[in-house]
Amino acid sequence: MLRHTWDSVVVTVHGEDVFSRDATRHGAPRLWTSCTRHCNCLGNGMHSHPLSSAASAASSATSGLVLAAQPLSPAAFAPFGQVVAVDDQPATLPQRSINSGNARRYDLLADLQLTADGGVPTLALFRAQARQFPLQVMEMERHALGSQTFVPLGTQRFVVVVARPGPAPQAADVHAFVTDGRQGVVLAPGTWHHALLAVEGGDFAVVERKAEVVDCEVCCLDDSLSVFHLPNDFCMKTFDRT
């Protein structure tokens, strides 16, 4: 059952609130719960569905905070960087016809900010293995002097775990998004993030800053945090309602 007000969404199972989405916290919607509080209302003869099965798996994995990855969109991801995709971009996105009308160019980001303190842009290929979800997140990292871009070379999805630039985040500050297989991301300089989390294994093109001194700061989260992703069709049909 889905219950919502103008600023929040609450999912109720057997009369008990299992997940809540706070649409005002940090400007981006999230699903979260303390799985020790609600694990008893999942299962117990219920018909299996994407939400209950995923939440049950998350509950068995950890006794801390559980974070469900939301479908990635340019608007929701704006505090953390840029989505590399055409769909759902602002109408003001610069674009024009090129190659004698046989292609269309979309200028997503004018400056990747990769040259600070003598840095140079570098292109790498990451061959990622599929991760198992729910996945426990214990630490985050950031690159203060340059952006970092991930683009799948195929249709594999990946989960992006991020927190806003600034002081080291706490577990409650973390957000998670899942791509649709046709999206990449540019992490803005200073954005806290987890390492690449591929839902399906495959190759990813990575553009980042390279310099003599490695620009990578790592922090540990203050509480246990497990991240899982819901099937994309369920997320879009259920949690994108207004």
What architecture is domain 74-222? Sandwich (2.60)
Question: Three-class SS of residue 41?
Answer: helix
Query: What is the mean predicted confidence (pLDDT) over 194-217?
Result: 97
Considering only 20-29, 33-42, 222-231, which range has the smallest mean pLDDT? Answer: 33-42
**CA-derived radius of gyration, the chain:** 19
Res. 219: pLDDT tops 50: yes
Only one residue has tokens 């999206």, namely: 183
pLDDT of residue 64: 78
Query: What is the mean predicted confidence (pLDDT) over 60-80?
Result: 86
pLDDT of residue 52: 42
**Do residues 80 and 173 lie in contact, with contact meaning Cβ atoms separated by under 8 Å?**
no
Q: How confident is the model at residue 38 (pLDDT cuts 50, 70, 90)?
A: very low
**Do residues 31 and 67 lie in contact, with contact meaning Cβ atoms separated by under 8 Å?**
yes
Res. 54: pLDDT tops 60: no
Residue 102 φ then ψ, to 5°: -90, -5
Instruction: Enumerate long-range contacts of 16-25, CB under 8 Å, 24 or more apart.
Output: 16/41, 18/42, 18/51, 18/55, 19/51, 19/55, 19/68, 21/239
Q: Do strands 184-187 and 217-229 pair parallel, antiparallel, or not at all (unpaired)?
A: unpaired
DSSP H or E run through 238:
helix 232-238
Among the listed residues 11, 7, 66, 79, the one whose alpha carbon sits nearest the alpha carbon of residue 35:
66
Among the listed residues 134, 130, 139, 161, the one whose alpha carbon sits nearest the alpha carbon of residue 61:
134
pLDDT of residue 81: 98
**What's the distance, CA 168 to chain centroid?**
18
pTM of the model: 0.74
- Between 194 and 23, residue with greater pLDDT: 194
Read off the DSSP letter of residue 40: G
Among the listed residues 10, 55, 56, 52, the one whose alpha carbon sits nearest the alpha carbon of residue 30:
10
Average pLDDT, the chain: 79
Q: How confident is the model at residue 229 (pLDDT cuts 50, 70, 90)?
A: confident
Query: What is the mean predicted confidence (pLDDT) over 104-116?
Result: 97
Among the listed residues 130, 137, 132, 129, the one whose alpha carbon sits nearest the alpha carbon of residue 62:
137
Domain ranges of the chain: 2-69, 74-222
